[in-house]
Chain A
Amino acid sequence: MSLVLEVNKKQKGKDSWEEPFYLNMGPQHPSTHGVLRLFLELEGETIVNCDPIIGYLHRGIEKLAENLNYNQTIVLSDRLDYISSAANNVAFALAFEKLFKLEVPRRAKLIRTIVSEMARICSHLLWLATHALDIGAMTVFLYCFRDREWLLNIYERICGARLTHTYVRVGGVRRDFEPEVIEELYRFVEEFPKRITDYETLIDTNRIWLKRTKNIAVVSAEEAFNLGLTGPCLRGSGVSYDVRKFRPYDAYSEVEFEVPVGQNGDTYDRYKVRMIELRQSNWIIKQCLDKLSETEGELVLAENSPDLLMPEKVREVSAQPHPKLGVMFKPKEKEIVPVGEAFASIESPKGELSVYVVSDGSSRPWRLRIRTPSFVHISAIPHMTKGHMIADLVAIIGTLDIVLGDSDR
């Protein structure tokens, strides 16, 4: 039975004078970043209990993927975390490549790394913009969107789309970078660190910002693992766990970067971690751009990568000797992809995004499981909000950096 019904039952026939106060926050509330509904039990302004209710954006991507071929499912991955769709594409492609045992060309790996770091910058900029807006700093919002716009324009130049790219393909990427894109990216990489400094001067020591973020939603390292926090939320608690370092994929093993960690595990530390990550991402892009000139003229898509329109069934005719009738020709269903399972995870801007795929030999995945960071982070909200004021709830939702398309799938 849902919490709502239980409450209705409790309240029946009782004087509500000294009863706790129940409040529905969302699903249309702007600071819930989408269609998250929080059912709150309040005592004055303090949160006693909180029940997040999701599923308003459930599109059944896992079920749909079972009825599409491997290449088509990458289109669905754009719709998970629509702010950083390039990173999602990479996660899907990595899992399928592991399954097909494909080797990706080096140039494609570098391009993928650039694209997913761009996605990280986009996502963190949007996070900073909305988080600051939620807390009350309006100016940052406009500046962040200006820079994000720059990156989106570069994306448009790369693949023709601004938000839903489908740029990464199984076995590489769709097309090579144009020379103008590389020039523009160099210009961005040069300019961007100054912009980050600008944002930090706006809010870093702002008294209101400090009051709203310091000692809010403190999570210890052990508790963070218990709650399943990953990404900047986990690193804010002082654990230096980064999938890019622990299970390197694409070109992350050949670039240098630091993994920033916080100390107190509060909202301010998570903000700090993300700001340093912006600089690190910028640095990674710069290194990859330098390396890109070494691989001039290489392929960006593996030669044996699967065709875009994978056939549903392939029949193979095999000749078998028969004792009476001589040689018999028997049609037999052929495996299009290897039977088995594969698991790949990436450090998406929001946290750890992992894909687990089971194949039965046909061109459609038998089961495609997507572990999304937002889903886990929303489940941590009740534990993190306990005892906080209702105004801090907005800061907590912001600091977890959730996207409802990511959690509802």
Chain B
Amino acid sequence: MALYEELKTKFPEVVKEGFQEVDGEVVVCNREGFLDLIAWLKQEKGFIHLIDLCGVDYLGYKPKTFEERFEVVYHVFNLDERKLLRLKVRVPEEDPWQYSITSLWKEANWFERECFDMFGIVFKGHPDLRRVLMPEDWKGYPLRKDYPLFSEEEDWEPYKVLVEKYKRRG
């Protein structure tokens, strides 16, 4: 918990809470000022390796203890101290956005694109925010919990177009 204490004194307005998990420390942050925090971690504390960036949708999650719907989770690793740190930023459903960290890691570019693709979280300051895995004209965000796993054939857009076409032909 040493790092949490340090972060708490350095960025009292950004850090919300922190706890110890099985695999490392977890620090929950506010959206505002997050960029300064992660830049400081990278430049001063040696967390130079960004392992992962992902989104999580907590719609209807029973053991939930917070209000916001989404969470953006960062995993950063310090090579010298062999320390794994998990940073979490909670994002409300009404304005789903978060600051982009592409200025710090080019690697984050595609991670953020994927997060936008799957959850619809917009990353402010991202140079090229478009879908990665899904087709460009896809509607909806597949990894959201309210997105169905199987959709009815009649709901499929090309099918509707086909039906329309044959109706007009008579």
Contact = CB atoms under 8 A, between A and B. Distances in A.
Interface of A: 1-2, 54-55, 58, 60, 62-64, 67, 98, 101, 225-228, 241, 246-247, 339-345, 352, 354, 356, 358, 360-361, 366-367, 369, 371, 375-376, 378-380, 383, 408-409
Contacts of A342: 21-23
A376 to B, nearest CB: 6
A343 B82 CA distance: 15
Given A58-B134, A246-B82, A356-B73, A371 B51 contact: yes
Contacts of B133: 54-55, 58, 408-409
A228 B50 contact: yes
B105 interface: yes
Interface string B44-76: 000011111010110001110000000001010
Contacts of A367: 56-57
A63 B107 contact: no
A67 B149 contact: yes
25 contacts: A2-B130, A2-B136, A55-B133, A55-B135, A60-B142, A63-B147, A98-B22, A98-B23, A226-B105, A226-B106, A226-B107, A227-B106, A246-B82, A342-B21, A342-B23, A343-B86, A354-B75, A361-B63, A366-B61, A369-B54, A369-B56, A369-B73, A376-B110, A378-B110, A379-B107
A350 to B, nearest CB: 15
B61 A63 contact: no
B105 A379 contact: no
A54 B132 contact: yes
Contact of B52 (A340, A369, A379, A408): A369
B143 interface: yes
B109 interface: yes
7 closest cross-chain pairs (CB), A and B: A228-B107, A379-B110, A371-B52, A369-B54, A55-B133, A58-B133, A367-B56
B149 A339 contact: no
B56 A344 contact: no
A241 B79 contact: yes
B63 A360 contact: yes
Given A241-B49, A379-B110, A360 B105 contact: no
A168 B87 CA distance: 30
Interface string B71-111: 00101010100101010000000000000000001110111
A339 B79 CA distance: 29
B129 to A, nearest CB: 11
Nearest to B53: A371
A21 B23 CA distance: 50
A244 B158 CA distance: 48
Contacts of B147: 63
Nearest to B142: A63
B79 A246 contact: yes
A98 B23 CA distance: 8
A379 B131 CA distance: 13
B107 A341 contact: no
A79 to B, nearest CB: 15
A116 B54 CA distance: 26
B48 A225 contact: yes
A343 B109 contact: no
A55 B22 CA distance: 34
A2 B111 CA distance: 18
Contacts of A409: 133
Nearest to B145: A66
Contacts of B135: 55
Given A98-B22, A379-B109, A409-B133, 10 more contacts: A55-B133, A63-B149, A225-B48, A225-B49, A246-B79, A247-B82, A342-B22, A342-B23, A376-B110, A379-B110
Contacts of B50: 228
Given A225-B48, A227-B107, A354-B52, A339 B63 contact: yes
A369 B118 CA distance: 12
Interface string B99-129: 0000001110111001000100000000000
Given A54-B133, A63-B142, A247 B84 contact: yes
B132 A55 contact: yes
A379 B75 CA distance: 18
A376 B107 CA distance: 7
A64 B62 CA distance: 20
Nearest to A355: B52
A355 B163 CA distance: 43
Contact of B61 (A62, A228, A360): A360
Contacts of A55: 131-135
Contacts of B54: 356, 369, 371
B75 A343 contact: yes
A60 B143 CA distance: 9
Nearest to B78: A246
B56 A358 contact: yes
A393 to B, nearest CB: 19
Contact of B75 (A246, A340, A356): A356
Contacts of A1: 130
Contacts of B57: 367
A101 B23 CA distance: 12
A54 B73 CA distance: 23
Contact of B51 (A54, A345, A358, A379): A345
A233 B39 CA distance: 25
